[in-house]
Amino acid sequence: MSTNTLHEYRTGWKRALIQTKISLTSPGDLLGFLMPTAIAVVVLLFMQKADFEGAPVSLGSMNMPSLIGMNVVFGGIMGMVGSLAMDRTNGTLLRAKSMPGGMTGYLVGHLASTAIFTTIMALVLLLVGLPLFDGLEFDSPDRWLIFISVLLMGIVATLPIGAVLGALLDNPRNMGLVMFPIMGMVAISGIFYPITALPTWLQGIGQAFPMYWMGLGMRHALLPDSMAAVEIGGEWRTVTMFAVLAVWAVVSMALAPRLLRRMSRRESGSAVAARRADMQRDW
Amino acid sequence: MGHPPAYDGPAIAVSDLRMRYGDKDVLTGLDLEIEPGGVTALLGPNGAGKTTTIEILEGFRGRSDGEVSVLGVDPARGDEAWRARLGVVLQEWRDNGKWKVRDIVGHFAEYYRPYTEPWGAGELLEMVGLTAQAGQRIQTLSGGQRRRLDVALGIIGKPSLLFLDEPTTGFDPHARREFHELIHRLTDLDGTTILLTTHDLDEAEKLAERIVILAGGRIIADGSPDQLARAAATTAEVKWIQEGQLQIHATEDATDFVRKLLATDDGKVTELEIHRASLEDAYLELVAKFEAGQAATAVDTFLAKLWLASFAKREATR
């Protein structure tokens, strides 16, 4: 790696720190994340009164770890898609293109700041969830290790997926094209109800996507071992979980650079202006 | 400035540049050479291809045909070191709205460090008159302040060549004047070549030492504001009333024509007027025709006004 490339990565990292500072001090950014999460937590609190087929912990406590897993996937994908789409409309991306090494700095900055933001939010959820939900276990180093590795694996898998989708999506008004499939993914991934309650063919589809495995991994980290009985096959399937997430990471990492380069190449002032005019027409 | 003088040819050299979108020709053989230093204005009506031209020069857009060299490099193959010697200020930029002014200036300077010693945040903000706004978020700046920040970010790496695309669109007269003063300050920074596009002749005359007029996909006039003004004014229109009828005559030598006219009219000529065409008249007519969709006629008429000494000798009666 040349010294200039190294410099670009370092500059990108600095960008990530500034962006994180901005996200954490912008009420809009924070509320956009905290509101839906807070609502979900409240719903789960009510679900503490419900049990699933005599499982040792309540449905609410069962879903709390799944919610953390879901948030990592959601934050990783939508964080990247949202910023890539918005930044093409307001010219941030074009600005990056106009500076030496700017594109690398921009991408490294966004990947890193999305990763930082997602991590912070997962930790916040964990700290809020542990005292509120009965039956969660997080008192041994092997649980910490599982939590951290699932979190990292989830970030590594979802950021490039977000980059790929963000590069393909050329206009923020098409965000729904990404948003709705992810919502659908939540429904079939056993986040708010055990996946085993679904018909087998839907279980199959759900298991093809990272959302299910992130939920499973987080349940593994936080629920009593006896809860594995509720899962498919009655076990945590740790190796399969890491393998599936790794496949998603590798495939999207292979696709992302090419698509991002294509996106960058097509960027120009008139392209930005046209996109903006297009959006204004719709509003 | 901060860059090694590795290249001493023209800042911009373009020959026979062509650009075609689908079946629409936007540039039809543009030739342009700009020596280092000074301000050149690329003037033309909206839709004349100014933005397309400047985007090709900036390396943001491919071209259909022709030779282009910017600081000695083909923009289609420019690397990061080449990029570091350019400054780009676009028509409208709303990026990084949540950043603080001081943060963005400090951070963007970082990108240039491997190539040059960029401006420090303090001195740069002072130069563009934004010292008081350093702690503000960018989205709270006024339109004029925002554009001055864009200029600051454009020159942050002490570029050899600075592009300004329609820099004062949408400005009120005050913001516009402040912006013009900023450009004059920039021209004092030795060695920076500035190419700006505008559709406003007045702005081009105020800012540029050289005006290049783009219309119909090619350069139709090129010279200093003074030269162009004199070229446009070579013909004068003489009007008078004779026997109740309006007479109009176009001539290169109005004095001589009028002397002869009055010597032989037997006192019948009244309401004599001599109108010397200004560059503004000629340009406004070009724009009006261009916007009415008569691009080809517009260009021809403009050229006729500018260059033809034998301006159609009509002695029309109305």
- The helix (run of H) or strand (run of E) holding residue B55 is helix B50-58
Read off the pLDDT of each residue in A124-129 and give the average, rounded to a whole number: 93
Quick one: pLDDT at residue B316?
30
- Mark yes or no for CB contact B110/A268 under 8 Å: no
What three-state secondary structure class fits B254? helix
Cβ–Cβ < 8 Å for A123, A39: no
Sort residue B61 into left (φ over 0), alpha (ψ -120 to 50) or beta: beta
CA nearest to A263 within chain B: B60
Q: Check A269 against B90: CB less than 8 A apart.
A: yes
Q: Do B80 and A91 touch (CB under 8 A)?
A: no
How far apart CA B298 and CA B47 sit, in angstroms, is 13
ipTM of the predicted structure? 0.85
Q: What is the pLDDT of residues B245-269, one digit of tens each?
A: 888 888 878 888 888 888 888 878 8
Distance of CA A40 to the CA centre of its chain: 16
A3: which chain B residues are within 8 Å (Cβ-Cβ)?
114
Q: For tokens 């780009």, what's the residue?
A: B88
Query: What are the residues facing A146 on neighbouring strands?
Result: none
The tokens describing B26, both together, are 């936007």
C-beta neighbour count of B206 within 10 angstroms: 17
Mean residue pLDDT of chain A comes to: 90
Residue reference for tokens 């959302």:
A211
Spatial separation of the C-alpha atoms in residues A40 and A227, rounded to whole Å: 22
For residue B81, the distance in angstroms to the closest alpha carbon of chain A comes to 7
Please tell me if residue B113 touches chain A, with a CB cutoff of 8 Å: yes
Beta carbons within 10 angstroms of residue B243's beta carbon:
8
Q: Determine the longest span between alpha carbons in chain B, in angstroms.
A: 81
* pTM listed for this prediction: 0.84
What is the tens place of the pLDDT at every residue in A161-213?
A: 999 999 998 777 888 888 899 999 999 999 988 898 899 999 999 999 999 99
Out of A11, A95, A101, the one facing B95 most closely (by C-beta) is: A95
A vs B, Cβ pairs < 8 A, gives: 85
Q: Report, in angstroms and rounded to the nearest whole number, the Rg of chain A calculated over CA atoms.
A: 20
pLDDT of residue A283: 52
State which residues of chain B have pLDDT below 70.
1-6, 190, 234, 277, 291, 293, 295, 303-318
Decide if A90 and B99 are in contact by the 8 Å CB cutoff. no
Please give the pLDDT value at position B308: 44
Q: Write out pLDDT tens, residues A45-86.
A: 888 888 877 778 888 999 999 999 999 999 999 999 988 988
Q: CA-to-CA distance for A91 and B95, rounded, in angstroms?
A: 5
pLDDT reported for residue B287: 74
Q: Tell me the residues of A at the B interface, defined by beta carbons under 8 Å apart.
A: 3-4, 7-8, 11, 14-15, 18, 22, 26, 87, 90-95, 97-102, 105, 267-270, 272-273, 276
* Cα(B138)–Cα(B116) distance, integer angstroms: 26
- Per-residue pLDDT at B2: 47
Higher local confidence (pLDDT), A4 or B278: A4
Look at A19-23, A136-140, A266-270 and tell me which has the smallest mean pLDDT: A266-270
d(CA B265, CA B263): 6
Q: Which of A7, A92, A273 sits opposite B91 (nearest CB)?
A: A273
> What are the residue ranges spanned by the domains of chain A?
3-45+56-282
CB contact, 8 Å: B5 with chain A? no
Give the range with max mean pLDDT: A8-12, A92-96, B187-191, B226-230.
Answer: A8-12
Instruction: Taking residues A97-116, report their average pLDDT.
Output: 93
Kind of pairing between the strands at B161-165 and B24-34: unpaired
CA distance, residue A87 to nearest chain B CA (Å) = 7
Amino acid at B137: R
Alpha helix (H) residue ranges in chain A? 3-25, 27-47, 59-89, 92-97, 102-132, 141-168, 176-187, 200-206, 210-222, 238-265, 269-282
**Burial of A1 per CB tally in 10 Å (0-12, 13-18, 19+):** exposed
Give A224-262 pLDDT, tens digit per residue.
Answer: 999 988 899 889 999 999 999 999 999 999 999 889 888
Q: Which residues contact A32 (CB under 8 A, 6 or more apart)?
A: none
Q: Please tell me the predicted confidence (pLDDT) of residue B190.
A: 67
Distance of residue B62 Cα from the nearest chain A Cα, in angstroms = 9
Do the beta carbons of residue A83 and residue B82 sit within 8 Å?
A: no
In which region does residue B277 sit, left (phi positive, over 0), alpha (psi from -120 to 50) or beta (all else)? beta
Best to test chain A binding among B50, B54, B60 (most A CBs inside 10 Å)? B60
Task: Note whether B90 contacts A91, CB cutoff 8 Å.
Answer: yes
pLDDT of residue A14: 96
Q: Are B228 and B279 in contact (CB under 8 A)?
A: yes
